[in-house]
């Protein structure tokens, strides 16, 4: 944050405020971690806070400190609308456009509060009095640390706040392996570790908590993988029938797309997951190096994200979506070939 932004933050938070903290739809580790960490911090500073997310998040994040206190908009709509209307300040974390919060778009658009945005995605919308946007950051959780540090309060980070921030940094950096992981990230992690967090238990709770059904579903997904060596591309698909047969639970397919990306020589990976209830196919795209899947998602799948990790959806059937995906591969042939 620059000096002007720090001054704005200090001014906004100078006296006790009613603060609503919002995460994006289908919250991930970074969304739950950043909103919960900031909420715990602002509470410790005397503010009245409430985290609201559009819908539920996976069980493998339910152990996170203060995650019990998160209000789901789709389950408590009236209460959430009142909190949003009454808020002095609304912090939006890990997203930068109201199109990422589903049904919360209208109440946020109509809110009278001052907005603070903390986010690492590209092309932020212009709705906040304080836009702390940094696309070089691997996670919003790392930015929450810098936000607290900029306020001069890094020494007041508790183990619970640190556990939340560690979780989001870990999940959004692929356990500190993506190119977005910097020396600064590791310095932040060292500070968080000094609060007493048990990082080995965080890894276990997030990554070693699969149900047997989830691993069977992974088996089905891997069996469905198709590889196109000439385009350095691999993709996985899962039909609604396959999800049902393996007792699909929210979050079960998290990380599956990375198996397609782990095939030697593959730099572009996708997963297509049929969602009959919403009549869509949910799409996750991943890449290595310079191949920009944010642009692919924006151009073809009504979505967006980061250069190497993006998501979107298709209104066509699963088979048609896959046919379409295969049909656009030749348009990327030169870009895919350029990768070394």
Per CB under 6 A, residues contacting ligand 5GP are: 284, 303-306, 309-313
Rounded to an integer, what distance in angstroms lies between the CA atom of residue 199 and that of residue 312?
32
- The burial of 147, by beta-carbon neighbours within 10 Å (0-12 exposed, 13-18 middle, 19 or more buried), is given as buried
Give whichever of 8 and 305 is closer to ligand 5GP, judged by the CB atom: 305
In angstroms, what is the minimal distance from the CB of 284 to ligand 5GP?
3
Between CA 92 and CA 82 the distance in angstroms is 17
CB-CB contact of 324 with 331 (8 Å): no
Residue 30 binding: pick among ligand 5GP, Mn ion, none (C-beta 5-8 Å cut-off by kind):
Mn ion
Phi, psi for 87 (deg, rounded to 5): -70, 145
- The least distance separating ligand 5GP from the CB of residue 99, rounded to whole angstroms, comes to 7
94 counts as binding Mn ion under rule CB under 5 A: yes
65 makes contact, choosing from ligand 5GP, Mn ion, none, with CB < 5 to 8 Å by partner type, with none
C-alpha to C-alpha distance for 215 and 313, rounded to whole angstroms: 24
User: Could you give the angle at the alpha carbon of 51 between the alpha carbons of 47 and 52, nearest 5°?
Assistant: 140
Question: What are the tokens at 63?
Answer: 């152990």
Residue 172 engages Mn ion in binding (rule: CB under 5 A): yes
Q: Which helix (H) or strand (E) holds 176?
A: none
Q: Does 252 bind Mn ion (CB under 5 A)?
A: no
Indicate the residue among 37 and 83 with the shorter CB distance to Mn ion.
Answer: 37
Closest CB to ligand 5GP among 73 and 83? 73
Reduced DSSP (H G I as helix, E B as strand, rest coil) percent helix, strand, coil of the chain, to 5:
45, 20, 35
Q: How far apart are CA 29 and CA 318, in angstroms?
A: 27
Task: Select the binding partner of residue 214 from ligand 5GP, Mn ion, none (C-beta < 5 to 8 A, by kind).
Answer: none
* Between 71 and 295, CB nearer to ligand 5GP: 295
Q: Is the Cβ of residue 132 or residue 325 nearer to Mn ion in the bound state?
A: 132
One residue of 9, 27, 30, 57 binding Mn ion per CB under 5 A: 30
- CB count within 10 Å of CB 107 equals 22
> Shortest distance, CB of residue 309 to ligand 5GP, whole angstroms?
4
Q: Is 24 exposed, middle or buried (0-12, 13-18, 19+ CB in 10 A)?
A: buried
As given in the structure block, the two tokens for residue 265 are 């020589």
- Least distance (Å) between residue 313 CB and ligand 5GP: 6
Token pair of 310 as six digits: 């993006």
Minimum distance, C-beta of residue 123 to ligand 5GP, in the bound complex (Å): 9
| Interaction between residue 119 and Mn ion (CB under 5 A) | no
Q: Taking CB within 5 to 8 Å according to partner kind, which of ligand 5GP, Mn ion, none is near residue 19?
A: none
- Shortest distance in whole angstroms from residue 34 CB to ligand 5GP: 12
Question: To the nearest whole angstrom, how small is the minimum distance from the Cβ of residue 141 to Mn ion?
Answer: 8
305 touches which of ligand 5GP, Mn ion, none (CB within 5 to 8 A by kind)?
Answer: ligand 5GP
Tell me how far apart the alpha carbons of residues 182 and 136 are, in angstroms, rounded to a whole number: 9
- Using the rule CB under 5 A, give the single segment among 170-178, 223-231, 280-288, 300-308 that binds Mn ion: 170-178
- Min CB(306)–ligand 5GP separation in Å: 5
Measured from the Cβ of residue 105, the count of other Cβ atoms closer than 10 Å reads 14
254 binds Mn ion (CB under 5 A): no
What does 306 interact with, of Mn ion, ligand 5GP, none (CB < 5 to 8 A by kind)? ligand 5GP
DSSP assigned state of 129: S
Tokens of 73: 């908009």
CB of 31 to ligand 5GP, least distance (A): 8
Residues contributing to the site for Mn ion (CB under 5 A): 30, 94, 140, 172
């Amino acid at each position: 944050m620059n000096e002007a932004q720090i001054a704005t933050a200090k001014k906004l938070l100078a006296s006790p405020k009613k603060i609503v903290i919002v995460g994006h739809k289908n919250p991930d580790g970074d969304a739950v971690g950043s909103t919960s960490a900031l909420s715990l911090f602002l509470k410790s500073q005397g503010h009245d806070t409430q985290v609201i997310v559009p819908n539920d998040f996976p069980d493998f994040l339910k152990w996170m400190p203060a995650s019990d206190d998160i209000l789901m908009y789709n389950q408590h709509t009236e209460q959430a609308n009142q909190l949003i209307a009454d808020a002095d300040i609304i912090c939006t974390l890990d997203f930068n456009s109201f199109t990422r919060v589903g049904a919360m778009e209208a109440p946020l658009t109509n809110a009278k509060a001052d907005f603070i945005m903390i986010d690492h995605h590209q092309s932020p919308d212009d709705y906040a009095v304080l836009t702390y946007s940094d696309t070089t950051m691997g996670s919003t959780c790392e930015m929450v640390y810098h936000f607290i540090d900029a306020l001069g309060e890094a020494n007041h980070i508790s183990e619970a706040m640190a556990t939340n921030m560690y979780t989001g940094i870990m999940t959004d950096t692929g356990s500190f392996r993506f190119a977005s992981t910097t020396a600064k990230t590791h310095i932040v992690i060292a500070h968080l570790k000094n609060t007493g967090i048990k990082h080995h238990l965080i890894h276990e709770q997030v990554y070693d908590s699969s149900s047997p059904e989830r691993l069977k579903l992974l088996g089905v997904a891997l069996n469905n993988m198709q590889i196109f060596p000439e385009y350095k591309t691999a993709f996985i698909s899962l039909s609604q029938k396959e999800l049902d047969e393996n007792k699909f639970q929210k979050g079960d397919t998290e990380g599956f797309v990375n198996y397609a990306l782990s095939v030697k020589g593959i730099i572009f990976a996708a997963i297509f997951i049929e969602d009959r209830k919403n009549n869509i196919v949910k799409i996750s795209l991943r890449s290595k190096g310079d191949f920009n899947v944010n642009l692919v998602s924006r151009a073809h799948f009504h979505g967006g994200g980061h250069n190497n990790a993006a998501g979107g959806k298709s209104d066509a059937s699963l088979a048609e979506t896959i046919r379409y995906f295969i049909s656009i591969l030749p348009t990327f042939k030169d870009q895919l070939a350029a990768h070394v």
